[in-house]
Amino acid sequence: MFYYLNGTISVLEAGLAVVDCAGVGYACHCSSYTQSQLRVGEVRRLYTHVNVKEDAFDIYGFSGREELRLFELLTAVTGVGPASALAILSVLSPDQLTLAILTGDEKAITRAKGIGAKIAKRIILELKDKIGGELDFSAGGGEGASALPLQEGSKVALATAALSELGYSQTEAAAALKGADAEQMGVEELVRYGLRAMVMK
C-alpha cells in the first residue's frame, strides 16, 4: 500500500517513530536498529510494510529495504508475527541476522525477547535457502572464483553467501577469502576475514 514514507521524524518512543508527511503524522512500529538511526526533527525516509486487519491498520517502518525484506521473510515463518520479527531485528542488524541464518547460529536469534530455540531453528530452516539459495556455489564461476574450492554447504560456500548477501560480488568474495585457512576457521571467522580483506584493499 505504502512503499515508503518520506517526512520529518516528529516523535520517537520505544518501538515507535512518527513521520510527519505534509502535516499528517504516520505512526510506524520499528526496530531498535531503525530507531538508532533516527533523530527527531530530521527528514528521513522509512520503507514500510502495512498490516491491515479487521480491527487494526498497522504500519511498520524500516530505515533500509534490506531490513524490510528480512521483516517480511521472518513474518512468513510459522509462529513468527510482526512483534517477534521486530524483536529479532532489534537485537540483530540486517547483516548480523543474515549471517546468523546462513551459519545456523540459533543462539544469536534466541537473544530476541520471546524467541526460543524451537522458533530459531524454524527460522533458520525456512529462510536459509531463501536468503542464500540463489547464489552460485560452484567452483570456477568466474575470475577469482577458484581461489578456494566452493562446495555447496561448505564453510567457504556459506561465507561466500554471507558476503554476497552483504553486497559483495562472488568474485570479490572469493578474492577476499583467498589465503584464509578454511580448515581451521569457522564460518563467522571466514566472513570476518573476508570483510577485513575488503577494508584493507
pLDDT, tens digit, 9 for 90 and up, residues 58-109: 999 999 998 999 999 999 999 999 999 999 999 998 888 988 888 888 999 9
Q: For 102-111, 152-161, 179-188, which range has the lowest pLDDT when averaged over its residues?
A: 152-161
Mean model confidence pLDDT for the chain:
85
Looking at the structure, tell me whether residues 174 and 188 fall in a common domain: yes
Residue 150 has pLDDT above 70, yes or no: no
Q: Which of 132, 164, 180 is the last residue of a domain?
A: 132
User: In terms of domains, do 80 and 121 share one?
Assistant: yes
Name the more confident of 83 and 194.
Answer: 83
Beta bridge partners of 26: 19
For residues 145 and 166, membership in a common domain is answered with yes
Q: Do 123 and 174 fall into the same domain?
A: no
Q: What is the CATH number of the domain that holds 9?
A: 2.40.50.140
Q: Given 3-state DSSP classes, what are the helix, strand and coil percentages for the chain, each rounded to the nearest 5?
A: 45, 20, 35
- Taken in order 191, 103, 34, 116, the sign of the CA dihedral is negative
Domain boundary among 132, 149, 175: 132
Which domain range does residue 36 map to?
4-62
Q: What's the total number of domains in the chain? A: 3
Same domain, 156 and 112: no
- Give, in order, the Cα–Cα distances in Å from 133 to each of 26, 31, 113, 158: 36, 26, 28, 10
Percent above pLDDT 90 for the chain? 52
Q: What is the pTM of this model?
A: 0.70
**Greater pLDDT, 10 or 150:** 10
Task: Based on the fold, state whether residues 71 and 85 are members of the same structural domain.
Answer: yes
Whole-number Å distance between alpha carbons of 61 and 141:
37
Looking at 29, 62, 95, the residue that finishes a domain is 62
41, 73: one domain:
no
Do 126 and 70 have their domain in common? yes
184 in the same domain as 142: yes
